[in-house]
């Protein structure tokens, strides 16, 4: 029997990079399903993809309009011409994606070419616009529009500048019209010359902000979920998103592979629909790593300054916070507690000195000696005391809900008097050896690690510990004591136990 299977080419594209991820037709349609479907039965609805890479959104929109407008515009070619010229618009990210998008939408890289599905265009680009833009450098060597580093992105004309048009050029100079729907999958990050992954500079927030300025009735976008709990340059954006009562629906995926199987995006991804006519609670669908979906309807800022992804977590947090206790963060240092900047090799020696240092050196964690000529200028009073050291980066320990169960944090290490740590660690300040031991035991409890996990992204900071309550450390604590103290019921205890694995 002859094999007649013909795959969709848009399911076969390799991603350009982890920064610019292609959207599958199936995912694009899940996002389009959020919209009121009567939009696709109106010949006046205008759609814009402001970050087109393959034009999958515009193609799937056009397919829906072809069906929805059949009664209003019976002639097939007339209907195609109307949709392509009056209803679907795109702004490409690069020269390459502009050509790809036109091939997808018009079946030709030339909108007015002989193979184009429409003869209504009198220009080569059609409604998929791209023009090379420039970064606008400020005195600090950063782009005023996207924050890109001048040293990293000032290239010759033979290279992409990654000055994306939608956030570098006034929209009225591209399409001087009002759009009913803006939908897309923006680039996620840009290299800042010093980091990758969650350490690279996020850029998707600029696309969301710009789209809001264009003032569509509906805005639908997919992006990493790291904004919910923290991340570089995302604090203001998180505050904007949490306080936005126009966000009507949010789908949050703990495992980004459920949306992008071939890409690793730490912290998961989410897509949302913002309806300018909606003003109230948001329907949140949490897609957990085990395939279960948890539904809730709430305000996004119910958890305070971060987005609480799981309604069960929010319930426990509110119960613990009702005790109005001091935060454990009050005894956790800020990053780089002893201000040792740069290569750790500049500070350490194997020859015995009066001060020790816990560091990561030679690819492993070890205790070495601090050179005699090194002067400590930060947290000097802690040097002579007992303290605890804990890694600020422990991605392998997992995040709350990914994997299930997660460890959240590694074991703390006791810091004796005249011992410090490198910037790889955070310092937990204590007054005595016994107090340090009791604090270390508290940190091993599932309760502590659950409360810490609520704010954990990848790299942990002082702020990650804000939801962990302080205790009386004149005696040890167990999970049973903590569950009883905060009045957690059997269901809440079982939830914590299911989310957190025992310490090895």
Q: Mind listing the pLDDT tens digit for each residue in 208-219?
A: 999 999 999 999
Residue 61 has pLDDT above 50, yes or no: yes
- pLDDT computed for residue 18 by the predictor: 46
Q: What is the pLDDT of residue 62?
A: 98
The rounded distance, in Å, linking the Cα atoms of 457 and 307 is: 12
Quote the pLDDT of residue 5: 45
| Structure confidence by residue, pLDDT tens digits, 170-179 | 999 999 999 9
Asked if 455 and 314 touch (Cβ cutoff 8 Å), the reply is no
DSSP state of 419: E
Distance CA 284, CA 296 (A): 5
Lowest mean pLDDT among 45-49, 284-288, 316-320, 391-395: 391-395
The residues spanned by each domain of the chain are: 328-499
Which whole number is the average pLDDT over 42-67? Answer: 97
pLDDT 10s digits, 426-468: 999 999 999 999 999 999 999 999 999 999 877 789 999 999 9
Question: Peptide bond preceding 186: is omega within 30 degrees of 0, i.e. cis?
Answer: no
Query: Of 152 and 358, which is predicted with more confidence?
Result: 358
Residue 147: the pLDDT is 86
Mean pLDDT of 125-137: 92
Q: How confident is the model at residue 92 (pLDDT cuts 50, 70, 90)?
A: very high
Q: How far is CA 171 from CA 59, 93, 120, 223, 499, in A?
A: 22, 14, 24, 21, 46
**Pick from 31-35, 265-269, 463-467: least confident:** 265-269
The Cα angle at residue 166 between residues 280 and 88, in degrees rounded to 5: 75
Angstrom distance (rounded) from CA 151 to CA 212: 30
Residue 355's Cβ-count burial label (10 Å; 0-12, 13-18, 19+) is: middle
Provide φ and ψ at 218, rounded to 5°: -125, 135
Q: Please state which of the ranges 24-38, 271-285, 298-312, 438-452 shows the lowest mean pLDDT.
A: 298-312
Contacts of 54 (CB under 8 A, 6+ apart): 10, 13, 22, 23, 97, 100, 101, 104
Q: Which of 335-344, 392-401, 447-456 has the lowest mean pLDDT?
A: 392-401
pLDDT, greater one: 445 or 503 = 445
Mean of per-residue pLDDT scores for the chain: 91
Confidence category of residue 196, pLDDT binned at 50, 70, 90: very low
């Amino acid at each position: 029997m002859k094999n007649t299977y013909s795959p969709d080419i848009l399911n076969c594209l390799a991603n350009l990079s982890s920064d610019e991820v292609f959207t599958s037709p199936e995912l694009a349609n899940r996002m389009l399903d959020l919209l009121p479907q009567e939009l696709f039965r109106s010949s006046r609805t205008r759609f814009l993809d402001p970050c087109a890479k393959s034009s999958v959104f515009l193609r799937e929109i056009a397919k829906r309009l072809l069906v929805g407008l059949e009664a209003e515009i019976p002639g097939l070619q007339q209907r195609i011409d109307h949709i392509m010229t009056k209803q679907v618009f795109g702004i490409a990210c690069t020269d390459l994606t502009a050509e790809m998008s036109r091939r997808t939408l018009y079946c030709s890289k030339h909108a007015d070419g002989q193979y184009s599905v429409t003869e209504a265009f009198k220009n080569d680009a059609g409604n998929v616009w791209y023009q090379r833009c420039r970064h606008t450098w400020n005195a600090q060597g950063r782009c005023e529009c996207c924050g890109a580093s001048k040293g990293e992105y000032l290239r010759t004309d033979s290279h992409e500048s990654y000055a994306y048009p939608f956030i570098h050029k006034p929209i009225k100079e591209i399409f001087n019209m009002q759009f009913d729907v803006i939908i897309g999958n923006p680039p996620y990050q840009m290299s800042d010359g010093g980091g990758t992954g969650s350490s690279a500079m996020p850029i998707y927030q600029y696309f969301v902000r710009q789209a809001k300025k264009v003032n569509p009735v509906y805005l639908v976008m997919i992006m990493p979920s790291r904004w919910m709990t923290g991340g570089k340059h995302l604090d203001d954006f998180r505050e904007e998103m949490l306080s936005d009562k126009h966000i009507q629906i949010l789908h949050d995926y703990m495992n980004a592979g459920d949306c992008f199987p071939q890409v690793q995006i730490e912290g998961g991804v989410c897509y949302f629909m913002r309806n300018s006519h909606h003003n109230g609670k948001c329907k949140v669908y949490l897609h957990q790593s085990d395939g279960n979906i948890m539904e809730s309807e709430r305000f996004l800022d119910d958890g305070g300054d971060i987005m609480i992804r799981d309604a069960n977590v929010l319930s426990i947090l509110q119960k613990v916070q009702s005790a109005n206790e001091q935060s454990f963060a009050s005894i956790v240092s800020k990053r780089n507690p002893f201000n040792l900047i740069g290569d750790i090799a500049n500070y350490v020696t194997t020859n015995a000195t009066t001060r020790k240092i816990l560091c990561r050196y030679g690819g492993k964690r070890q205790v070495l000696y601090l050179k005699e000529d090194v002067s400590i200028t930060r947290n000097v009073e802690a040097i002579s005391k007992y303290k605890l050291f804990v890694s600020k980066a422990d991605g392998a320990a997992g995040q709350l809900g990914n994997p299930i169960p997660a460890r959240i944090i590694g074991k703390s290490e006791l810091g004796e008097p005249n011992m410090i740590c490198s910037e790889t660690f955070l310092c937990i300040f204590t007054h005595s050896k016994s107090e340090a031991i009791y604090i270390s035991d508290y940190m091993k409890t599932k309760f502590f690690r659950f409360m810490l996990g609520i704010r954990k992204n990848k790299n942990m900071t002082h702020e990650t510990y804000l939801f962990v309550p302080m205790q009386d450390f004149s005696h040890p604590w167990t999970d049973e004591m903590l569950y009883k103290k905060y009045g957690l019921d059997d269901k809440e205890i079982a939830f914590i136990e299911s989310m957190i694995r025992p310490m090895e």
